[in-house]
Amino acid sequence: MRLMAFIFVMGLTSLFGFDAQFQGDSLKGSLGEILSFGWDIHHPEGAHLTFSEIDLEGTGIEVLDRELIHIEGGSSLRFNTAIYDSVGIYTFPSSIAYLDNSNGLDSLFLRGPDLEIASILTSADTTFRDIKGIHNIRTPINLVFVLILLLVLIVAFLIFYLLRRLKTSRVQAAPPKILVPPEEAHIIALRAFESLKRSKYLRFEQFKDFYSELTHILKQYYDNRYLVNALDQTTSEFIITMNSMIEFDTELKNETQELLEKADFIKFAKAGSDELESGKALNLAIDLVNRTKIQSNQGDNT
């Protein structure tokens, strides 16, 4: 089902002229060597193109230069990177390209490439040779030293044995663990929405952060409830997934699409919002969860 949805999305991007072709000049190198790659992004003339932030924290990758230039039929995004830590395979973080034109807002997933860093040492550099030959040096056996060493080994063994016995007795005396069943998807989501309602985002007009948290909770609920991997999909990809499933009725699809697209405009297109509108969006998300949650046999008053 996910493969059909992916093929459908690729067909749509080709139809409307919004697609990307990866260009990798050099993805293999040594420590400190510049690796160049990028994407040729085809899009209509006059469209506004933006990109999500790339988090390189902890990756070991350094971006030396990033350039977006105009080419025939679109734009070219180019990166010059280098790695100074160690040899191995480094995965460049993926990003999302957002297109804003007269047809509306669309997005495109740019999967980061794998960068291979090899050692600059040759096989001759890693071969160690003796400077001089090995000489046998005879030393007299010190009986006192041997006895002291033997005594230390015996004491160390006794300490290890006693500590092991103590640890074993504690493990045996420990009470049995009580396994708690995992919480249902709607309980996790409703608790997260309640925490978001008490947050300071709306009070300080941090609408971008508010809608980011709101859509994350809603998509995570769909992940846990229907196993659709919503968190790894863009809004347009997830709507295609919903349209292919019989579990969602038309009203639910339309309300979910309206909420996610409004959040995208606020998060990425810097659209305005207010406390009243944001409160309505939160209430709509809560209503979507309550309408799709699993009803237990004893009744669920959550």
**Does the global pTM surpass 0.75?**
no
User: What are 29's two structure tokens?
Assistant: 């190198």
Angle (CA) 99-242-211 rounded to 5° is 55
Task: Identify the CA nearest to 37 among candidates 73, 76, 74, 85.
Answer: 76
Which has the closest alpha carbon to 209: 134, 266, 262, 290?
266
Report DSSP state, residue 184. P
Q: Looking at residue 192, what is its pLDDT?
A: 94
Q: What is the pLDDT along the chain (302 residues), one digit of tens a residue?
A: 443 443 444 444 444 578 998 988 778 888 888 889 899 999 888 888 898 888 888 888 999 899 998 888 899 989 899 988 888 899 999 989 898 887 788 888 999 899 898 877 665 555 555 566 665 666 566 777 788 888 999 999 999 998 888 887 775 655 555 555 578 999 999 999 999 999 989 888 899 999 999 999 999 999 999 998 999 999 999 999 999 999 899 999 999 999 999 999 998 988 888 989 999 999 999 999 999 988 765 444 44
- pLDDT confidence of residue 18: 82
Report which of 161, 163, 149, 82 is spatially closest to residue 115, judged by C-alpha positions: 82
Task: Write down all domains in the chain, each with its CATH number in brackets.
Answer: 12-118 (2.60.40.740), 185-292 (no CATH)
What three-state secondary structure class fits 285? helix
Contact of 98 with 268, CB cutoff 8 Å: yes
Query: What is the Cβ-side half-sphere exposure of residue 252, based on CA atoms within 13 angstroms?
Result: 17
